[in-house]
Amino acid sequence: MIRHLARVIICVFIFVFYLSSNCYAENKTEVSVETSNVTGNKWTLPYVSAHSAILIDALTGDILYERDANTKRPPASTTKILTVIIALEMAEVDEISTVSEKADQVGESSIYLNRGNKITLGELIEGALIRSGNDACVAIAEQTAGSLDEFIRLMNLKAVALGAYNSNFVNPNGLPDKDHYSTAYDLAVIARYAMNNPAFAGIVSQKYATIQYKQPIKSQAAKNTNKLLWNYPFADGIKTGTTSAAGKCLVASASKEGRRLICVLLNAPDRFGDAQRLMEWGFNYTEIITIGKKGDQVATYPIAGTNIPAVLAEDVIVCVEKAKIKNLKQDAQLNKGLSGNIKAGEVLGSYYIYVNDKLLKKSVLVAPQDFASSPLNFFKDLLKKEG
């Protein structure tokens, strides 16, 4: 119990810190760019059956395609992405869980846990992601946070901390509930974060697994529910979901020639076909462009009778349609009112990247080092401003 309480306290602190940094860091702003339907008099966007869909570049987070991506819908078992990433971050995979009556009684998709079974958290995670066990998710929640209710609270904290603001979770597995919902965009944000965890990425890329129990000693074969792993050679994850309320859903990942794309399809009759068509379109018609590197000077800031460099605070990388690369534009806007001494890293302004006059990305301009102005230059600058 003490271990669970300590985990919860640490987790809440991390989530609050992460949320605060997201709220105040200007360079996290990302804005969707509309994709064109026609390039060179030819239709380039693929047919998509999903009611809600989104395709993003995993490196930059840029939206390459979307349809009703912010509409709230039942996410079904794609919920388990969030469940597992929390467990991987809060607990150890070799911890042994004793299955509770609550986990035993969970219905529908199952790995057939029985009350009193002993099984490691790592095996439960494989059961949740590969076999899509609803019971495994309840056991994961109880082992990680001490209770199902506490774990659900942590799920919602984590979602907000990641920027998934239009989601609400009331269970760890995605079983239907009117208050359990997410969006294609939110699930893409969560999946992008999860795929940065090597353990998570390794599990969701597996076609098969063998789930081992500690008590009673037995093993259980599991086949991944994600048929895209068989149908598309570049697929490497992530999670299916199906209920009568949600329809057929899929969060998918594919990697090709050093790039990774993530797509989300909600209520998609042809989810695997949708995913393959979107991924191929993304790989063929979009490209990652490096606008500038961290430390590159893109402007000068006049202060106290001198000019100091304004440099990029981070690498500025965008992903856009190849046909629109020629339309990329940059604009540096400097803050007003700075005077006196400047410290290294002090924000001097913002750097905007546009495509076809639509904002694609915003970054921060900073001072590369300390700059101390002389009193004479300070007064000259003050007189110039007053004059």
Domains along the sequence of the chain with CATH: 2-31+69-250 (3.40.710.10), 293-386 (2.60.410.10)
35-84 pLDDT tens trace:
434 444 444 688 999 999 999 999 999 999 999 999 999 999 999 999 99
Confidence of residue 334 (pLDDT cuts 50, 70, 90): very high
Q: Which of 29, 31, 36 is nearest to 322 (CA)?
A: 36
pLDDT of residue 339: 73
CA–CA separation, 100 and 310 (whole Å): 58
Confidence of residue 238 (pLDDT cuts 50, 70, 90): very high
Q: Which amino acid is at 267?
A: N
The pTM of this model reads 0.85
Query: Between 148-162 and 2-24, two packed helices, what is the crossing angle to 10 degrees?
Result: 20
Q: Which of 212, 158, 184 is nearest to 56 (CA)?
A: 184
Which residues form the catalytic set? 77, 80, 132
Confidence of residue 32 (pLDDT cuts 50, 70, 90): very low
CB contact at 8 A, 354 and 360: yes
Comparing 130 with 373, the larger pLDDT belongs to: 130
